[in-house]
A and B are shown apart, each in its own frame.
Chain A
Amino acid sequence: MGTVVTIDLFGETHGARTREPLDRLVDAACAVLHDADAVFSTWREDSPISRLRRGELTVDACPPVVGEVLSRCAEAHATSMGWFDPWALPGGVDPTGLVKGWAAQLALSQLLGTGVEGAIVNAAGDVAAWGAPAPGQPFRIGIVDPFDPSRLACVVELDGARGGAIATSGTYERGPHLIDPRTAERASAVASATVRGPDLGLADALATAVAVSGTVDFVDAVEGYEAFVIGLDGRACSTPRFAFATDPVVVRH
């Protein structure tokens, strides 16, 4: 999938604790990511998703996880009022806008109950976390300023006790790559769209939908999810319950 993933574990270091069990945890999480890549990478010609896209396989003939992901895509499509539409993309169904977050969330679940006090999986900017970086502290996640990637637009808190995720979609990183499902053309209404919520797969899909639509209203209607958008004009807006830890400052050059 061409994605860099970082896994961070947090906890007390005790004299007797060695690297090995922690390395094994990370390996287990990585294995989940590799498995997801083998199934869903559109860059691998022989992956089930590629074969599905070419019509060589039906969904039923794919590994069951494909059907599961497509059904989550259908839910996200409905939740986003159609703005997230993996079936609108040229070349066949492409669940990439949800799979990255879904896979990262699944990888994080490998680290639950393993004795570490906190964990973060960051898949190319989509972040899922649980636990705490230090006792009693929430995670603090920076959101990149789309007009200057060397600085942050704001900081957001994630309550790891309940689990939490942040996904950001934007055109600044590799040029316009979002497709407007109404026209099937490349669309870019915003510079950066961030969605926060309990599940990274859905947050990922909703962030994509917000980036294309330029609206956050449908996110506000979803229990537990909030959005923050930075427009191409540099103005920021957010849903009422978006948990800023610092006020957003966006400098448009």
Chain B
Amino acid sequence: MRRAPFVVAGTVAGVAGVLLFHPQSGVSLGTIPSASTSSGAGSSSSAASSASSGSAGGSGSAAAGSSTSTSTGSSNGTSGTATTTMYTGTSVTYNYGVLAVKITVSGHKVTNVGIASLTDGGNFRSQSIDQQAIPTLEQEALAAQSANIQSVSGASYTSAGFARSLQSALSKAGL
């Protein structure tokens, strides 16, 4: 098993934009729009546990990403109605196996986040890890949204792989 390498993310916040998602399958989510400042990964190393919606001055168009997934949904250009596209992040090795995150993007907004693939080396723990990885990042979203808190202590290591794959998917989507 290889560990994920050192991963760093930066965010700039006036009010931080954060991805919100739920652990149940079928995952619903929305984004919390930032009031004034856009946010995004601020470092040259990729991966982030938070990302903005397409707020003021955000990336121009929902790029037609070269997705590695088999999901469909191609779109070119953004004039007129928002198109929906799915992007799958790169597969990352984490401490229990391999996972890849899949996102659905409509216009500039991420409307769905899920696990595209998850292998666990045949270990029954995969389900608990899956359940744990998403709620852990969700709690950061919960934090920013509801309890007026700025950060959370006690995050799970397994979220590292998830965050990296998620950022990869976001990058492909041009977000």
Contact = CB atoms under 8 A, between A and B. Distances in A.
B82 interface: no
B139 A33 contact: no
B153 A140 contact: no
Contacts of B9: 4-7
If over half of A's interface residues share one DSSP class (helix, strand or loop), that class is named, otherwise mixed; here it is strand
Contacts of A149: 132, 135-136, 139, 154, 156
Given A34-B6, A168-B154, A192-B154, A150 B148 contact: no
B147 A126 contact: no
Nearest to B133: A149
Contact of B139 (A9, A26, A144): A144
B20 to A, nearest CB: 12
Contact of B14 (A11, A27, A125, A141): A11
B5 A2 contact: yes
Interface stretch (B62-70, B112-120, B157-165): B157-165
Nearest to B139: A150
Contacts of A122: 151-153, 155
Contacts of A229: none
B33 interface: no
Q: Which 6 A-B pairs have the closest CB atoms?
A: A150-B135, A26-B10, A144-B154, A26-B42, A125-B155, A168-B154
Interface of A: 1-13, 19, 22-23, 26-27, 29-30, 33-34, 37, 41, 43, 120, 122, 124-127, 129, 133, 139-144, 146, 148-152, 155-156, 166-168, 170, 173-174, 192, 194
Given A5-B8, A140-B148, A173-B158, 19 more contacts: A2-B4, A6-B48, A6-B49, A6-B50, A7-B8, A7-B10, A8-B11, A8-B13, A8-B16, A9-B10, A9-B13, A10-B13, A19-B38, A33-B6, A127-B151, A127-B152, A144-B154, A150-B135, A194-B154
25 contacts: A2-B3, A2-B157, A3-B157, A3-B160, A4-B155, A4-B159, A6-B11, A6-B48, A6-B151, A7-B10, A12-B14, A13-B36, A19-B38, A19-B42, A33-B6, A34-B45, A126-B153, A140-B148, A141-B150, A141-B151, A143-B152, A146-B154, A150-B139, A152-B139, A152-B152
